[in-house]
Structure 1
Amino acid sequence: MRRRRPSEPAASDAMTAAISVHRLAVLLQAGLTPARAWHHVAGGEQGLAGAAHDAAAIPGELDRRGGTWREVAVAWRVATTVGAPLAPSLRAIADALRDAEQARADVAVALAEPATTARLIGWLPALGVVLVVAFGFDVASTLLHPVGLVCAALGAGLMVGARRWTAALVRRAQPPPGIAGWEHELLSIALSGGVSIDRALDVVTAAGCPSASEATADTIALSRGSGAPAVELLRAEAEDRRLAARTEGRLRAARLGGRLLLPLGACTLPAFLLLGVAPMLLSVLTSSSIGF
């Protein structure tokens, strides 16, 4: 593989896996053995697991790599267990990984602006304190006053609350981990090996995907009731779920802009008043000895 220049951004783990898996599929389709293909791919990419000496050892190497590679290892085990064509199976996995990474990238781009704006606005109360000092007000005497202490404590608490609230909203807007429709993709790979649906479910479950039977129950029932090929139905369902995940991610990011107004109105602006406006008023009142 081409080595990354220092000026180039590092690819994510999922995208690195997608590229490598796709290259494996191309090499296998060109006639190379799995071990030889893995040797070429793993030997040219820094940070990948070392090249395996035989095909049976490749899933173990993938597991040791961790992260997204464990999902690739599960798919590899499923394909080799049922005798499914490995090159098409790996192409399907590469496509699934790319779709999942694209969904995460879409959400990250959509979240960048509202999240950055929220972080900047979160410093508004601190800016109020700076303005109080810059305008020459006596902050020390204000803080020594009981009312000033209460304002400072409440303002600081609201700032902390606003930042935690904002962080929680941004965190909930992130896409869930994993790959949408992954169980459907694995089961379609298992069925492409020519085994029965029950046997395919057993293989997928044994490979590390115990939720496959529940997630794919409706699709399998449709296949059995209509006589349509389960492989095609499962692949279509996997693609539909990945598309739905991308759409839902964009919607969550779009809704975040409005939800970020909640901590702004409930915490940030009151904190600005308590830390910025209130000390000015208290300083004027205490210096004039009016009501204190």
Structure 2
Amino acid sequence: MTRMRRAAGAEADAAAALAESLAVLLDAGLSPRSTWEVVATDGVHPLAERVVSALRQQPSCAAALVRSVDSDDLRMIAVVWRVAERTGAPLGHTLRAAAEILRDAAETEREAEVALSGPRATARLVSWLPVVGALMAVALGADLLGAVGSVAGATAVAVGGALLLAGRWWMSTLVKHATVRAPHAGLAEELIAVGLAGGASADAAREIARGAIAESGLAPLDERQASRVLRLASAAGAPVNELLTAAARQQRRVAHADGRRRATTLGVRLMLPLGVCVLPSFLSLAVAPLVLSLLSSTTAGLR
């Protein structure tokens, strides 16, 4: 049975809504624990109930968050909360930055899903072509079972079946690779900016961000762009937070374009398994048994 997929971007949107709700309540003057209790009561996100439950044993909201999250989107909220907690940065502003990253990720997923809908449907339809061809041959009166009884027929069916399975696996792999979601773009820059906003030095902010990432279970972040921005800000005496935020937004735009590019090129990539596996499978499973059946009936009629 085919498992139903959640709408593209739904998880990231739900996490963004949670981060925005937390930010509003924190800016209204509620304490972090009270904020989580209110969000849990209103049912904004299932994570809130788990955090409230974990707070009975954990010393801080950040620790409870790390124990309660179960997806990369929610781990990102735990990371930014941990960095803000350790540096003293404003939690409301920090969570709004996290929500912006999550909203961008959700939008990228939705656009990629739209671009992928055509190639995915093509792959699904074409993969059934050999089976449909075999059924049509039977409908035309071909004795496929008799044809398969011969050595040539059995060989054709075996080769066709293997090619069909290989083609379906190949196309499925291409679609899966095209839908792989990259790590949250710009997160390293945003975390360092949070640490700097809390009064930490650049080096300290980077160490705190790395520690928070390691605790949360997220994959290590690419800090090359952040390092370049920090060097530029140090050399020019420019406001480093603004440069980091701008670099983070640029990385999100690049990730957005990359997702669309992968989806657009998928249609071309699917031509390879179609020509190498699926069409030869159609010939082996439908055309070859039909020809063998006709030859067998013709030979029998001449006797």
C-alpha deviation, 1:208, in angstroms: 2.1
Aligned residue in 2 for 1:245: 255
Structure 1 residues 175, 87: CA separation in 2 closer, same or farther (over 3 Å shift)?
same
Partners of 1:88 and 1:165 in 2: CA distance:
45
> What secondary structure sits across from 2:181 in the alignment?
coil
Q: 2:138 aligns with which of 117, 133, 137?
A: 133
Deviations 1:186-237 (A, max 9, x none): 1111111122111111211222255465452111111111111111111111
Partners of 1:9 and 1:266 in 2: CA distance:
33
Deviations 1:63-93 (A, max 9, x none): 2132122221111010111111111111001
Q: Amino acid of the residue matched to residue 70 of structure 2?
A: G
Partners of 2:59 and 2:242 in 1: CA distance:
28
User: How much identity, in percent, do the aligned residues show?
Assistant: 39
> What secondary structure sits across from 1:66 in the alignment?
coil
Give the TM-score of the pair, scaled to structure 1.
0.91
Partners of 1:213 and 1:280 in 2: CA distance:
61
Kindly report which structure 2 residues correspond to 1:210-229, keeping only aligned pairs within 5 A, or say none: 211=221, 213-229=223-239
> What secondary structure sits across from 1:289 in the alignment?
helix
Q: Which runs of 5+ in 2 are unaligned?
A: 1-5, 215-219
Structure 1 residues 212, 251: CA separation in 2 closer, same or farther (over 3 Å shift)?
closer
Partners of 1:61 and 1:110 in 2: CA distance:
38
Kindly report which structure 2 residues correspond to 1:1-292, keeping only aligned pairs within 5 A, or say none: 12-45=10-43, 47-48=46-47, 49-51=50-52, 52=55, 57-63=60-66, 64-67=68-71, 68-208=73-213, 211=221, 213-289=223-299
RMSD: 2.4
> What secondary structure sits across from 1:222 in the alignment?
helix
Q: Which is further off, 100-109 or 60-69?
A: 60-69
C-alpha deviation, 1:21, in angstroms: 0.7
Deviations 1:261-291 (A, max 9, x none): 1111111111111111111111111111289
Partners of 1:205 and 1:243 in 2: CA distance:
24
Aligned residue in 2 for 1:4: none
Partners of 1:111 and 1:212 in 2: CA distance:
27
C-alpha deviation, 1:256, in angstroms: 0.5
> What secondary structure sits across from 2:30 in the alignment?
coil
Q: Which runs of 5+ in 1 are unaligned?
A: 1-7
Figure out how many residues of one structure are paired with residues of the other and give that number: 285
